[in-house]
Amino acid sequence: MLIAIDYDETYTRDPGTWNSVILLLKRLGHRVVCVTSRSNTHDNRTALGNILPLDIHVIFCNYNAKAEMTRKAGYHVDIWIDDNPYTIDPDGKYTSEETKQRFNEWKEKDNQ
Ligand SMILES: [Mg+2]
């Protein structure tokens, strides 16, 4: 799996916990990237680079939809960990028809 972890108010709430989680996920063969809404500025690169583990790739989304920006960067995220899910796909444009259908099927089963 490719797992995306948000930075502000997600990773920053408890970096020690997330570092352990990231290490475990990687040991189990998964990939982890950090996806932040922040802009790709020198100050942000420095700030995140000083705190995140060295081998975590960071995708700066410049306040665009995270789903769009990660795809443009060549990543197809399987699981999102984010304190603000709205930032991932605010207009639902990047949610696939398959995903919408799976959700609707699950919802129908759950309502029976
Ligand atoms: Mg956040």
> Tens place of pLDDT for every residue, the chain, 112 residues?
999 999 999 999 999 999 999 999 999 999 999 999 999 999 999 999 888 877 899 999 999 999 999 999 999 999 999 999 999 998 888 888 888 899 899 999 988 8
As a whole number of angstroms, the distance between CA 81 and CA 83 comes to 7
- C-alpha 69 – ligand 1 centre gap (Å): 16
- C-alpha 64 – ligand 1 centre gap (Å): 13
Q: Which of 97, 47, 89 is nearest to 71 (CA)?
A: 89
Instruction: Indicate the residue type of 65.
Output: A
- Look up the pTM and report it: 0.87
Beta-carbon count within 10 A of 107 CB: 9
Question: What is the CATH code for 2-110?
Answer: 3.40.50
- C-alpha 76 – ligand 1 centre gap (Å): 19
Q: Which of 34, 32, 63 is nearest to 47 (CA)?
A: 34
User: What are the boundaries of each domain within the chain?
Assistant: 2-110
